[in-house]
Amino acid sequence: MPKDEIYCGLDIGSGRITVVLGKYNEETDEIEVLAGKQSIDRDAFTAGVVKDVEKASNIISETINEVEESAKTNKTNIIVGVRGRFVQTYDIKAQIPITSADKTITVEDQEKVEDLAVKSLRISSEREIIDVIPKDYIIDGQPGINNPVGMEGSMLEIDAHVVVAYSTFLRNIERTLANANYAPEKIIYSLIPVSEIVTESEERKLGTLVIDFNGQTIGAVIYNDGYIKYSKEFYDNEIDIGSDMITRDISSYYKTSWNIAENIKQQYGIAKPSLVKKDEQIEIPSRDGKTMKTTNRKGLSQVIAARLEDLFVSRVIPDLKNTNLLEIVLRSGDIVLTGGGANMSGIINAIEDLFSHECGIEVEARIGTVGLETGIVGPEDIISNFSYTTAISLIKYEITHMRRNMFTKRGSRKTNIFKKLWDLFE
């Protein structure tokens, strides 16, 4: 892996794109965030989907050019993060016998069992696999093997999480980038990287629920025993589900424009009415700008709380409870919240109350932060802003998996060398 390689995390999200440039330092094992920028255009993107190829490609080109100029570079590897209803995940399994004389498991055996697991998944010709995430390897019935290469056994099994996306959805993203004179190094389901970067390995072992609360999407990942046990995007065929629904409610309730409603939500919004300490008056201009409507912060908070209850109590929590995993992980672990919606004041208290009430247990939640413990350094205004977390996580995910693959291959070569030496000695 070249030391001076620059990576570009491109998060195609909710009515916007987020671009972050990062450089990996092999000596310190850190990723330095060099620059970042968000560009909003709801006519070009919605819930991770390209709506207008020409407009979207212009926005991507302008945004990447701007961050490259800021970072004083013009050569980056673009890692694209995708989301939304056109991406699904499945669990797959397979097993193979180890046929070598000494029963040593090789990289070829590992690849063979992975390929067999992938082939066991029957998907239509309109969809394709974009990622396979091994959850667990089992050798002769013994689970919990992270890397089976070099170990001995008669039977190798794999339990994996596979990501599938619609081909036309992917081709339109590739076409949009091509129009901007870019070719993606890789397209990744961004819910997985962002869940990894905001949690610690110990949390994933104990069990934790990650909620990625974005403008037009809500994603959830459940970890237990260190592996992904469940992941899902929540969507409605008629409307995009996310924190933008709160903006829509404010706009509708107070008869004001979308932009003004968004600004009011960010400046005055509190997710839990009881947290309103100073019930100050808020002046809200009408859509035509000719009249003003007066409300108070408590009233605004009640509008927000009603929508949060609808989103989580009516849609998200019932689906999570059906997995039979939710109570298990919440008794030993926490909820980790990330995404643009996590920037709202009081959101952690609101999430704790909603889940505690619906699950009948005391639930704790926290904001999923990116910092030194994750090996990310750089401008605080980018690293601490949850709207940039996904773009940063794409870079981290790609570098981590590249290093893991290099280590596996190196380990395999060493195993073969030691075997030859041992055979010669005998």
Structural domains in the chain plus CATH codes: 6-85+168-199+371-405 (3.30.420.40), 87-164 (3.30.1490.110), 209-367 (3.30.420.40)
* Whether the predicted pLDDT of 408 surpasses 70: no
What per-residue confidence (pLDDT) applies to 291?
87
* Whether the predicted pLDDT of 161 surpasses 80: yes
Give 371's pLDDT tier (boundaries 50, 70, 90).
low
What per-residue confidence (pLDDT) applies to 416?
44
What per-residue confidence (pLDDT) applies to 374?
77
Q: Which residues contact 170 (CB under 8 A, 6 or more apart)?
A: 82, 128, 130, 187
Q: Coil, strand, or helix at residue 410? A: helix
Q: What is the pTM assigned to this prediction?
A: 0.86
What per-residue confidence (pLDDT) applies to 405?
52
Q: What is the pLDDT of residues 102-137, one digit of tens each?
A: 999 999 999 999 999 999 998 889 999 998 888 889
Q: Which of 226, 198, 386, 214 is nearest to 316 (CA)?
A: 214
166-173, Cβ contacts within 8 angstroms, sequence gap of 24 or more: 166/86, 166/126, 166/127, 167/126, 167/127, 167/128, 168/126, 169/49, 169/82, 169/84, 169/86, 169/87, 170/82, 170/128, 170/130, 172/50, 172/53, 173/12, 173/50, 173/80, 173/82
Q: Which of 205, 75, 199, 70 is nearest to 136 (CA)?
A: 205
Average pLDDT over residues 75-83: 88
What per-residue confidence (pLDDT) applies to 410?
38
Give 404's pLDDT tier (boundaries 50, 70, 90).
low
> Position of tokens 């673009």?
78
